[in-house]
Amino acid sequence: MHKDDLLELHEQMVTIMEYFKEQEDIPNGAFDAYDQLDVDPSHVHKSKSEHKHAVFVLGNSLASVMSEDEFSEAGRIGKRMEELADDAESKI
């Protein structure tokens, strides 16, 4: 995936995150791991690896707020996103 495509995906995922943050039933701190990264789609100067890591961390958070439990489809996706985030972090 090209960096431009990754930035677009990142931006779309942030839009989804903002939607969820407006919902009342989302636990406080659901997106803290992503917020602490200090990488957002407008940071085009950040490396592709940093954006890739941010996308996986955000994907994990999104899947977590959508999952019923760790065995639901969203829960399994969240677990895979966590693994991919760890792998991407090791390459930064």
Q: Give tens-digit pLDDT for 26-72.
A: 888 999 999 999 999 999 999 999 999 999 999 999 998 888 666 67
- Fold of the domain spanning 3-22+31-90: Substrate Binding Domain Of Dnak; Chain:A; Domain 2 (1.20.1270)
Look at residues 92, 24, 4, 20 and name the one whose alpha carbon lies nearest to residue 61.
20
Domain ranges of the chain: 3-22+31-90
Q: Give tens-digit pLDDT for 6-25.
A: 999 999 999 999 999 998 88
Q: Are 56 and 81 in contact (CB under 8 A)?
A: yes
pTM of the model: 0.85
